Copies of this chain bind each other. A is one copy, B any other.
């Protein structure tokens, strides 16, 4: 379980782009060096963010930019972009309960229904957190580094 590291890597990339996108061409190669992930993995993530309208990436020439100001990018958009079914998979349900048992026959539907509020609440929590806050927290951390 876990909303995978993809989301964290994507945020890393977005912060990086916010910080350096104006000064230099941010390529998948560069992001791979900063994140420690494979360039192909990065390209996959960035491609997803592009499709979701969060970044712009000129095809052919490269160099990613934020498509929206950081106060308009929230964690929910990022998660959904890079991992569309993260919320659905939040609480896993075991796959092979016995159809011979009354509990086994019904447990899946019962649990799915019971978990629904969790998904809704988490979705709301994710929407509340903006890239702005993360960038600000980064500035603070980078500041106190000296």
> Chain A: residues with CB nearer than 8 A to chain B?
1-5, 7-9, 11-12, 15-16, 19, 33-37, 75, 86, 89-98, 101-107, 109-111, 113-114, 117-118, 121-122, 124-126, 128-129, 133-134, 137-138, 141-142, 145
Interface of A is mostly: helix
B37 to A94, Cβ gap below 8 A? yes
A97 to chain B, nearest CB (A): 5
A82 to chain B, nearest CB (A): 12
CA distance A125 to B122 in the complex (A): 8
Closest residue of chain B to A9 (Cβ to Cβ) is B94
Number of this chain's copies in the assembly equals 2
Which residues does chain B contribute within 8 Å of A9, judged by CB atoms?
Answer: 94
Contacting residue for A141 out of B4, B110, B117, CB 8 A: B110
**Can you name 14 extra interface pairs (CB under 8 A) apart from A110-B137, A114-B129?**
A2-B89, A3-B90, A3-B91, A5-B92, A8-B92, A16-B103, A34-B104, A35-B97, A36-B97, A106-B138, A110-B138, A114-B137, A118-B122, A121-B121
B5 to A3, Cβ gap below 8 A? no
A-B contact pairs, 25 of them (CB 8 A): A1-B1, A1-B2, A1-B89, A2-B89, A2-B92, A3-B92, A5-B93, A5-B95, A8-B94, A8-B107, A9-B94, A11-B111, A12-B94, A12-B104, A12-B111, A34-B101, A35-B97, A35-B98, A36-B98, A75-B118, A102-B145, A106-B138, A109-B141, A114-B134, A122-B122
